[in-house]
């Protein structure tokens, strides 16, 4: 196998967006040298080893077509495209002489394989201090509707708690490592490994099945990279792993998708650990400034899926770090701002405090960097209506945090619908977007859909909106009304009402 890095430089002919990292590898007959190949059946996450195929064959239960085919020699090529690819190569270098192994695994297993907490049995999981997700809170309320927004990843599969599995431990024999081939509960992804080193995870576009308003399956890879750029251009303060659109050829068949660098030092997902409820203890667990950097990013990109299974906890020692992953459900069109989900961090005590000075500076920097950010996400293919969302949400964060010093948890509540009425009524932000868009020339109205949810509806995909006038109107409203709106919040658990 060989790894070839094509790098732009003074002597190269490529430039800008044309940078490409090309890694070619041959998965040859070494696959046949595995002494122990385990293929877990995908129909039941609770199946034990007695249901597995050992040695690639089991007469009582045949291997799946995926498992059987995966043991053959294969030629795989990965091409990573996108701006600032030089930084991606720095994180994803292939060591000389290494053999690149590409295997289909579950995304949850890839990020937490071998880490404490990956199985959902970490100390503190499910304890009294564990924040409840939106689904859990809705289920605890007998009068709320059952069809609330569900948590999902960009592979479109609903995540369940307490079903995380560790990757099969690697077998060190003849220089070949065991790999797990498993569609799993979060859909197919491809793990890229060299020797003992995990490099990246590739998520194919064809596996995207999520359902979010204004998000079409197949666009997740663009949004994944756009969120990375939004964080990278302000110094990677939220810690989004290096992410880019990519393609992978397996046995001559090309798959399009995104590739994301492996997150080091992950000990599990945040859902497997309890965030202390006392501010001082919470600050010791995860520093306020680090929590705020994540909150700012999620608000800027209007994250519609920041549940606790999309946030890694890093480092065994305290304070822990945060590793946000899976950003395909972000940056909807500007008139579809009904489904924000910040369950992973919304109730954290340290986010109910006035923002740190560094956080206010970060919000200002994101606003000042906005022209370049919008240019770059446009270059990778993010649609214009979604770029307007990035602009208005970055403005929202700039005014709320940088100028007014509103705590991140309270500011985020203005983006969320009230769960007490089943998320049916417009959020504070949606009302302001409606009013500003009408004033700026868009034909936007409020309708009630067949689920009795209020929603914004525009004609001709928002054509006629004067974007600059729209944002100027919003800026004035944010500055004049935001503090009062926060004061009218019914609780720190979310929701908003106007007295």
47-69 residue pLDDT tens: 343 333 333 334 333 333 333 33
Question: Is residue 366 helix, strand or coil?
Answer: helix
Output the pLDDT for position 146.
Answer: 40
Sites in the chain below the pLDDT cut of 70: 1-188, 207-213, 250-251, 491-499
Q: Give the separation between CA 156 and CA 205, rounded to whole angstroms.
A: 11
Question: Is residue 321 helix, strand or coil?
Answer: strand
Output the pLDDT for position 49.
Answer: 39
Strands across the sheet containing 321-324: 266-269, 311-314, 321-324
Instruction: Using alpha carbons, list the distances in angstroms from residue 45 to 94, 153, 172, 307.
Output: 33, 17, 26, 21
Each domain of the chain, given as residue ranges in start order, spans 16-121+154-261, 266-487
Name which of 333, 393, 385 is nearest 366 in CA terms.
393
């Amino acid at each position: 196998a060989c790894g070839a890095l094509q790098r732009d430089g003074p002597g190269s002919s490529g430039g800008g967006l044309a940078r490409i990292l090309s890694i070619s590898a041959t998965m040859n007959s070494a696959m046949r040298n595995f002494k122990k190949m385990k293929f877990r059946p995908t129909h039941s996450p609770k199946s034990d080893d007695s249901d597995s195929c050992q040695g690639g064959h089991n007469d009582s239960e045949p291997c799946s077509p995926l498992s059987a085919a995966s043991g053959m020699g294969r030629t795989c090529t990965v091409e990573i495209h996108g701006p600032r690819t030089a930084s991606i190569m720095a994180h994803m270098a292939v060591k000389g002489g290494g053999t690149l192994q590409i295997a289909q695994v579950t995304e949850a297993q890839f990020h937490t394989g071998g880490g404490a907490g990956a199985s959902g049995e970490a100390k503190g999981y499910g304890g009294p201090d564990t924040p409840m997700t939106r689904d859990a809170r809705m289920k605890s309320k007998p009068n709320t509707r059952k069809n609330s927004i569900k948590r999902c990843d960009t592979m479109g599969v609903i995540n369940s708690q307490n079903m995380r599995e560790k990757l099969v431990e690697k077998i060190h024999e003849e220089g070949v490592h065991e790999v797990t081939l498993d569609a799993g509960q979060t859909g197919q992804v491809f793990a890229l490994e060299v020797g003992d080193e995990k490099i990246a995870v590739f998520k194919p576009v064809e596996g995207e099945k999520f359902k979010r308003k204004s998000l079409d399956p197949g666009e997740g890879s663009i949004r994944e990279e756009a969120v990375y750029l939004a964080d990278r251009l302000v110094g990677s303060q939220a810690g989004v792993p290096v992410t880019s659109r990519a393609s992978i050829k397996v046995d001559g068949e090309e798959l399009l998708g995104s590739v994301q660098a492996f997150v080091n030092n992950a000990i599990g997902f945040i859902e497997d650990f309890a965030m202390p409820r006392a501010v001082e203890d919470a600050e010791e667990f995860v520093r306020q400034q680090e929590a705020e950097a994540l909150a700012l990013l999620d608000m800027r990109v209007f994250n519609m899926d920041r549940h606790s299974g999309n946030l890694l906890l890093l480092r065994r020692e305290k304070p822990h770090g945060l590793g946000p992953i899976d950003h395909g459900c972000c940056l909807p069109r500007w008139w579809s701002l009904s489904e924000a989900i910040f369950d992973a961090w919304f109730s954290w005590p340290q986010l109910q405090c006035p923002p740190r000075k560094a956080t206010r500076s970060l919000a200002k920097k994101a606003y000042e960097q906005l022209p370049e950010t919008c240019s770059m996400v446009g270059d990778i293919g993010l649609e214009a209506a979604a770029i307007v969302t990035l602009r208005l949400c970055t403005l929202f964060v700039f005014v709320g945090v940088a100028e007014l010093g509103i705590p991140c948890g309270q500011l985020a509540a203005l983006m969320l619908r009230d769960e007490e009425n089943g998320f049916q009524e417009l959020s504070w932000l949606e009302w302001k977007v409606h009013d500003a868009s009408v004033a700026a020339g868009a034909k936007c109205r409020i309708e009630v859909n067949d689920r009795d949810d209020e929603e914004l509806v525009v004609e001709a995909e928002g054509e006629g909106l004067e974007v600059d006038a729209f944002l100027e109107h919003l800026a004035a409203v944010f500055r004049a009304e935001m503090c009062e709106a926060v004061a009218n919040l019914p609780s720190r658990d979310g929701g908003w009402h106007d007295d």
